Structure 1
């Protein structure tokens, strides 16, 4: 039976603990948090143990979820890797590209499962839409929300936009050839709202907006390809698809018809963690590898450099 634990049980880490405690085919050993009172409270809530020393917890488990602040990702993840523990590390992979590269290299050398928590990959709408996509030509993303105080140790590009960067890279299998970007701080000292236009070598264009200072939450992506337009709402987990057809034959006028596809709503976080544990058990490569997380981070930093050069 796989022994599991969580390091970092703030808002998101607590949810990971909740999911891990619910699995009956694994053994949830415990949690660690830099705030001892918070660690003890979460441990009591889910009937497990709170460890004062993360090294002691790592010495007793096979797989760990790490949900500490981004600036601590490298230190905590490297400790887990060097302890021989498989890890699900929340996004972004690290606060610096060189740290991300070092983590990927070290995990590979020890043959560990190293999954990055790009949660949208496990959204049912995304999974269903991926089967409809052939060769996207234009992508438009909006990931907006009110200021909540979490994640402000990094820019909004690393906090929110990186979700969409990962998705776009998974949809468009082509190098990024050009970047136009602008971003500004509004409430925090870091960039709080940003817009990016990505040009790919195969001709695809992606327009991406991320904000953590908007009035209401919005998580949408629209993808256009030669024969269809796919619209996904991540909050509603819904898909609309519009197709072009020629009812009177190719020589006649084209028509656009749309439909709302039925998508079963699921628990993306639970499915993400279940997928990770399955990979630990089978030694298969995870759906979102450390390499995937690194690619998204490298693109994010190219965007940030472009913003700061303006």
Structure 2
């Protein structure tokens, strides 16, 4: 059989997009750039938004209701990029309609809903993936390889800062919107959920959601982690620090040319001392290394992972179970806030 005939016989994966607001157009762009797939239909409740996108994506049929996508027999998979409060119902309908699903984070706002969707996807033999986009960031993947190689020695703690002036959401607060990124990264890097969390948050603007949050997480092996998030800050920061017994690493997502720096730094014990009064721990400063990374767009890598999972029928690593794990942590953070910042344990 000729290569031309083989190519013609390969089925193009037809996809539908639900939600064309802040993040949805990025999916339209990325799917347009990938081979072997296309977005046939896109649904959004806003008629002005649909009209403005038609000129950019003329091959896409825009509609008002998600039900039109669910009923379309040509569509194999659905991307859901709507407010988090709508995720459970839309993902449920998509899976029951026999569609594979890529859902934006967080998967749901309740643990029971995340578990129910994961079980439904398994029963329907469909792929359920959660769009934790930063897990596909080249820098985060590099941090993961350092931990796998034990490059840092014994890992002591992680710290993350994620701030900016907006965008301010109306459906969820800064914890679900921003901290969910850092929680998913920590869970991915450490291959575990935290054992315990505590949190304090503040609402400054006239709405019911928090604008600033400070979160402390305790992971297995006595690894501590801390997250600071705010969408009420004049400076855009996306930084993470990992501190180990041998080396320390920083990641700066805003620095696209040199996002990672490795510090030959640590603390050493004074080798010679006669009594406890002479005992001291000395800082050790060495070279700083800046590895060269081959950067790629995280969203494009995420979508490609989704397509590969469908073709191979192999669950992606950010599947329903992983997404529900993040929801578990968010739920514990909410419980800590309600308890005045008291530590809340997380069940496995």
Give the alignment's TM-score, normalised by structure 1.
0.92
Checking the alignment, whether the CA contact within 8 Å between 1:40 and 1:49 is kept in structure 2 is no
Checking the alignment, whether the CA contact within 8 Å between 1:63 and 1:85 is kept in structure 2 is yes
Following the alignment from structure 2 to structure 1, what is the Cα–Cα distance between the partners of residues 69 and 189?
38
Of 101, 109, 113, 1:87 maps to: 101
Following the alignment from structure 1 to structure 2, what is the Cα–Cα distance between the partners of residues 269 and 130?
18
Residues 27, 201 of structure 1: CA spacing in aligned structure 2 closer, same or farther, 3 A cutoff? closer
Post-superposition Cα deviations, 1:104-139, rounded to whole Å, max 9, x if no partner, equal 111111121111111110111111121111353200
Q: Where does residue 161 of structure 2 map in the other structure? A: 142
Following the alignment from structure 1 to structure 2, what is the Cα–Cα distance between the partners of residues 244 and 181?
30
Q: Where does residue 174 of structure 2 map in the other structure? A: 156
Post-superposition Cα deviations, 1:28-61, rounded to whole Å, max 9, x if no partner, equal 2110011133224324421210123322223231
Give the alignment's TM-score, normalised by structure 2.
0.83
Q: Where does residue 275 of structure 1 map in the other structure? A: 305
Structure 1 position 175, deviation (Å): 4.8
* RMSD of aligned Cα (Å): 2.1
Q: Where does residue 70 of structure 1 map in the other structure? A: 84
Checking the alignment, whether the CA contact within 8 Å between 1:31 and 1:50 is kept in structure 2 is yes
Q: Where does residue 292 of structure 2 map in the other structure? A: 262
Q: Which runs of 4+ in 1 moved over 6 A?
A: none
Gapped regions of structure 1 (runs ≥ 5): none
Larger CA deviation: 167-176 vs 11-20: 167-176
Following the alignment from structure 1 to structure 2, what is the Cα–Cα distance between the partners of residues 245 and 308?
38
Checking the alignment, whether the CA contact within 8 Å between 2:247 and 2:266 is kept in structure 1 is no
Following the alignment from structure 1 to structure 2, what is the Cα–Cα distance between the partners of residues 301 and 70?
14
Gapped regions of structure 2 (runs ≥ 5): 1-11, 273-282, 341-348
- Residue 221 of structure 2 aligns to a residue whose secondary structure is coil
Larger CA deviation: 236-245 vs 153-162: 236-245
- Residue 152 of structure 1 aligns to a residue whose secondary structure is coil
Structure 1 position 244, deviation (Å): 4.8
Larger CA deviation: 64-73 vs 127-136: 127-136
Structure 1 position 25, deviation (Å): 1.8
Structure 1 position 258, deviation (Å): 1.2
Determine whether 1:51 maps to 2:51.
no
Of 94, 119, 130, 1:116 maps to: 130
Bigger radius of gyration, 1 or 2? 2
